[in-house]
Chain A
Amino acid sequence: MADTGNAVGKVDAAGRHELDGADEEKKQYIVVRIGGERYGMDISLVDNIVRMQKITRVPKAPYHYRGVINLRGEVVPVMSIRRKMGLEDDEFTHATRIIIAKMEEQGLVGMIVDSVNEVIALGESEIDRSVNDSKKSDHMFINGIGKNGDELISIFEINAIVDSIDTF
């Protein structure tokens, strides 16, 4: 399986990580790249990360669902975040990964990202939540902007990305 997948697998299950001296509780985020931007995903929702593999197209499925994959004997739907956000279509490279999120309602759902970079821990004080005020549509999928040193990382609201079941 993917190297990144292994690295992720070892993360503390609760997704919490105390740093020395920091008494604020920090949450861990997987940092992924889509286009030029870096996004963070709450690690507690991520079940697995797999390499790009053959996706079977599902006719009549919503456009942003690319199809289904075989994840160790289970059939898992895979969506394109790029299509969902209205960006250019995916271009598959050796760095492309599918993040498998485990949703309470929808079960396992795969999301294609350009690459998986690292895992970071952010405290609530390091995340700017004011983005919610903005009415810009592409902000709908983001619930905050994390500051990791000099870098800015948009934090995905995974629940907004994965459609709820009854929208179909």
Chain B
Amino acid sequence: MDVSQYLDIFIDETSEHIQELSDNIMALESEPDNKDTVNEIFRAAHSLKGMAGTMGFKRMQHLTHDMENVFQKVREDTVTVNSELIDILFDCLSAIEEYLDNVKNTSDEGTEDNQVLIDKLNRYLSGGAGAPAAAPAAAPAAGGGAAAAPAAGGDAAGGQEEYKHMKLDEDERLKAQEMIDGGTRVYGATVHIQKECLLKAARAFLVFKAVDDFGDILAYNPSNQDIEDEKFDLTFSILIALEGNADVEAMRSAITAVSEIEKVELGELSKDMLSKDAKPAEAAPAAEAPAAAPAPAAAPAPAAPAPAAPAEKKAAAPAAKKAAGGGKPANKPVTSRTVRVDIEKLDSLMNLVSELIIAKNSLASISSSEDGKYDSQGFHDQIEYLERVTTNLHESVMKVRMVPIESTVNKFPRMIRDLSRKLGKPMDLVMTGEETELDRTVVDQIGDPLQHLLRNSADHGIESPEDRKRAGKPEKGTIFLNAFQEGNNVIIQVGDDGGGINTEAVKNKAIERGVMSEEEAEMATQKEIIDLLFMPSFSMAKKITDISGRGVGLDVVKSNIEALGGDVEVKSTLGQGSTFIVRLPLTLAIIQALMVEVRDEKYAIALASIMTIENIAISDIKYVQAKEVIHLRGLVIPMIRLDELLDLPPKDEEPTSLTVVITKRGDKYAALVVDNLIGQQEIVIKSMGKVLENNKLISGATILGDGEVALILETNALM
């Protein structure tokens, strides 16, 4: 059965089941006797197993099957849940995730059997649930992890001699094996098509035709249908049963004679290699150059490439990876990014589109009215109607792009649990507002910064249980993540009830590092000191752990968040904990902006960055260090003449008063002098094209109602 068309669904649903399992296993740890949770887990594990089996991912199926067995026993109350079991289960989940990643990248599950995990599960089942079993089990587990790496490497080299690990269904495999038994030579071939080739399917067809003269094609990978539809990258593999005494070398030349074929790898397959449990990666000696691979037909060696010994395999895999890396940069994921859309959102879109059609028809009927005179009242009404429809349409489409942050944050409880065990500090993660929606792009990219902040809280924030006890706090620390919408922004607070930021320690560190002089440090406000933490390579960790303290820390968080158009600030009270407040724009593509005019050019300034707009008399301009400033309600604000900044000619005569737009970023201000204000407008942000994108002053462009392009000023760069 061809299942490749279900791959997307499989990936989606598997991720969901993994998440569900992860959530429920967490819940199970806190209440081991809750039968509902166990049933949920059982169901999810069962579905996982079923899906993996249907898709032919045997290793994944095997592992999930054994997990299911464990849950079965838990359901029957024959084994008890303890944290050792939970650990094993989480390891299993990680392994399944790894399979899933492989599937995403290569549409194949990879070659890691995870036998260690399976053994552990079974040992647990057979009653070895005690602590002694845990210690020896830990050692092989580490070994298993190490073994996984080279195996993954071998997988990356999948571009080489793919025919050796073609996916065959049962019928194809049996047929091929019968053939071999009957004395027919069965060859595998992997054909590489040139990158520039435009008609891949046609080339593949010609290859098949060429092969037809020498034998029958037993199996295709990807499927014949997919090859016809050009649903393959640059390589495909086929299994050929050679006729009587057909010459393999002649077949090779026939295949390479097809134009735009880069190379073809051919090799005879033995029955072993086709058998069900043969490890596909078994034979992949990297040193073997593709051209040299096939043994001459005259020497009917049992299996041209001898199965490499395990030790060799390990050595060969990294080399193969290198070889493959030279050709193609990275494996492209085989699936596309998707957004799941609530059917209601789609319905409202559909409604709006039908309204749009009605509006268009009404306009058409007005313009074609018989007497040739337009009914201007009706015309106006229709334009207004059209405007309403387009505004709604726009809103609905934006809503389709919005997804709850849940998909990103729901992996955090598990992470905090792991950290808690690793650091030996009991702690809980409390999350609220997971349903808060953000633009898909933002949700995808906010995961890393948030994860970093949480790790930071777990590592630096929460004190050791002893310290907490001494401070009169509950031994168990609390880390929280709250998300909510505020106007056009989404706020995500990440914090803890730990020790807070020790500003004295930061100060000392700053002086020690020479970032500040002692006098400066004395004068600095608490906020200024906390801001030091966001400086590149300023780490406060006393020792470097693998959790944090490498100095690639908060500065990266800050720049990541700023790249998304957001900002981050910190509130901290010594002894009571600290909170990082991340502010993100609801959507990236559309902003409210103030349109201004400088000479005859129009610019947009993001409304969110504007504090006020003022009229300033020339006589009110003051000078500080020969720079123009204005003094406004107690603030001294540097003045920036946009015409100068934008290389425009100065005005012939200075007017008596200036219009200034006061922009704010954090606690920094700037007063931008403009000629004219046009008004507030919702604008769609567009890129200026790659060659001009790096402009520091201009963050993008937008298209105005009359089709003209206006540029968006990057006010942050002016501060």
**Cross-chain contact of B698 among A54, A59, A106 (Cβ < 8 A):** A59
CB distance from A81 to the nearest CB of B (A): 14
The answer to whether A75 touches B690, judged by C-beta atoms less than 8 angstroms apart, is no
Q: What residues of chain B lie closer than 8 Å to A107, measured between beta carbons?
A: 689-691
CB distance from B694 to the nearest CB of A (A): 5
A77 within 8 A of B: yes
The answer to whether B689 touches A77, judged by C-beta atoms less than 8 angstroms apart, is yes
**Cross-chain contact of B692 among A14, A58, A74, A105 (Cβ < 8 A):** A58
B458 within 8 A of A: no
The answer to whether B688 touches A60, judged by C-beta atoms less than 8 angstroms apart, is no
- Contact status of A59 and B646, CB under 8 A, knowing A68-B701, A70-B707, A75-B709: yes
The answer to whether A60 touches B695, judged by C-beta atoms less than 8 angstroms apart, is yes
The stretch that binds B, out of A118-126, A129-137, A145-153, A160-168, is A160-168
B696 within 8 A of A: yes
CB distance from B684 to the nearest CB of A (A): 9
A108 within 8 A of B: yes
**Cross-chain contact of A75 among B647, B686, B694 (Cβ < 8 A):** B686
The answer to whether B698 touches A56, judged by C-beta atoms less than 8 angstroms apart, is no
The answer to whether A165 touches B697, judged by C-beta atoms less than 8 angstroms apart, is no
The answer to whether A105 touches B690, judged by C-beta atoms less than 8 angstroms apart, is yes
Nearest A residue to B600 via CB reads A57
Binding site for B on A (CB under 8 A): 14, 54, 56-61, 65, 67-70, 73-77, 79, 105-109, 162-163, 165, 168
Among all A-B residue pairs, the 8 with the closest Cβ atoms = A77-B689, A56-B709, A59-B646, A75-B701, A75-B686, A168-B694, A77-B692, A106-B690
**Cross-chain contact of B691 among A59, A60, A168 (Cβ < 8 A):** A168
Q: What residues of chain B lie closer than 8 Å to A76, measured between beta carbons?
A: 689
CB distance from B131 to the nearest CB of A (A): 58
The answer to whether A75 touches B695, judged by C-beta atoms less than 8 angstroms apart, is no
CB distance from A7 to the nearest CB of B (A): 24
Q: What residues of chain A lie closer than 8 Å to B198, measured between beta carbons?
A: 14
Tell me the bound Cα distance from A73 to B344 in angstroms: 29
CB distance from A71 to the nearest CB of B (A): 10
The answer to whether B708 touches A163, judged by C-beta atoms less than 8 angstroms apart, is no
CB distance from B200 to the nearest CB of A (A): 15
Tell me the bound Cα distance from A68 to B235 in angstroms: 41
Q: What residues of chain A lie closer than 8 Å to B701, measured between beta carbons?
A: 56, 68, 75
Tell me the bound Cα distance from A73 to B698 in angstroms: 19
Tell me the bound Cα distance from A54 to B708 in angstroms: 7
Q: What residues of chain B lie closer than 8 Å to A74, measured between beta carbons?
A: 686
What are 17 A-B pairs at a CB distance below 8 A?
A56-B601, A56-B701, A56-B710, A58-B688, A59-B645, A59-B697, A59-B711, A60-B696, A65-B692, A68-B701, A68-B709, A70-B707, A75-B689, A77-B689, A106-B691, A109-B689, A168-B692
Tell me the bound Cα distance from A108 to B646 in angstroms: 25
